[in-house]
Structure 1
């Protein structure tokens, strides 16, 4: 009788152990399936404050409440769902600032898509406002097809539908525009 009782207890313990082993393996497979599948980012950063340098010189500061890193995808990108602010510093350490409610950077193409209350303020206080703006980092070119407003330091205003320009706005082409330009007539009289 004692031998049978030990065999029964041993069999029950073995059965429970095997059941637990297989049930754990099933849960482990489910966890592995959830890992980085679907639309999950490979990393999430909060309270981002990145400084970019070139040969020891500060060239840009990027700040954002949150960034999702999808560089594990076939077409890698980084998303800033809560907006971003970027300060650029030129060779003379003059600052240009860009802010937007949303941003996405595509790594392979070098294209940055900024959306929602996009505002650029240049070092000479020129201010550009648009609902969406693209910046091609590889070509150093900024463009949009959306309505935009440019306010110049002298009080001039230009409202347009689409433009493209080099990133320092030295070569600016507006597609359609209405505006008020301020002319200094004293300069014309001196000539």
Structure 2
């Protein structure tokens, strides 16, 4: 009888999961809604970021699942250019941004506009690039192509496979 009781007690012991079977939460550890963030340097606002939703992850990455709107200010404190995307992601380790969906950049100072479906921006290197189809309106010129690399201020840009209408001075 004693052996049967011991067998029942050991058989009823709760099964413990191995550490490798425990699921860890991988979602955002912080969320914000209707957010406006200002980035400044030397007490001057450089960028104003507006987003309906921000998810921040433990590794420092940030996701903007409902879109993002950035305003870039010039030295006079005026808006020089804007960037809008349907969704965005900031990769902290690489210090790189990715905009997706309907991505549009407007330069008020240079009368330029860029439209694409995906765009990467590396602030430290001051470059933007994509391997997707791009349209750039520069004054009265409309240029299209697949793949593009540009300075973040549009002082130069190049296409991988250019098309469009160009004005050539004699």
Normalised to the residue count of structure 2, the TM-score between the two structures is: 0.80
> Are residues 1:169 and 2:164 paired?
no
> Are residues 1:181 and 2:151 paired?
no
Tell me the equivalent position of 2:113.
127
Q: How does 1:66-85 map to 2 (within 5 A)?
A: 66-70=53-57, 72-73=58-59, 76-85=60-69
- Taking a change above 3 Å as real, the CA distance of residues 176 and 92 of structure 1, as seen in their structure-2 partners, is farther
Tell me the equivalent position of 1:160.
145
Unaligned runs of 5+ in 1: 1-32
TM-fit CA distance, 1:118: 0.3
TM-fit CA distance, 1:41: 0.9
TM-fit CA distance, 1:69: 0.4
Tell me the equivalent position of 2:130.
144
Tell me the equivalent position of 2:41.
54
**2:73 is matched with which residue: 80, 83, 89?**
89
TM-fit CA distance, 1:92: 3.8
Distance 1:116 1:177 in 2: 22
Distance 1:99 1:148 in 2: 15
Query: Which structure is higher in strand share?
Result: 2
Larger radius of gyration: 1
Deviations 1:145-188 (A, max 9, x none): 000100112x21001001101111112111111111245x7xx6
Unaligned runs of 5+ in 2: 1-21
Tell me the equivalent position of 2:26.
39
RMSD (Å), alpha carbons: 1.8
**1:105 is matched with which residue: 85, 90, 102?**
90
Normalised to the residue count of structure 1, the TM-score between the two structures is: 0.72
The alignment covers a number of residue pairs equal to 147
Query: Which structure is higher in helix share?
Result: 1
Tell me the equivalent position of 1:114.
99
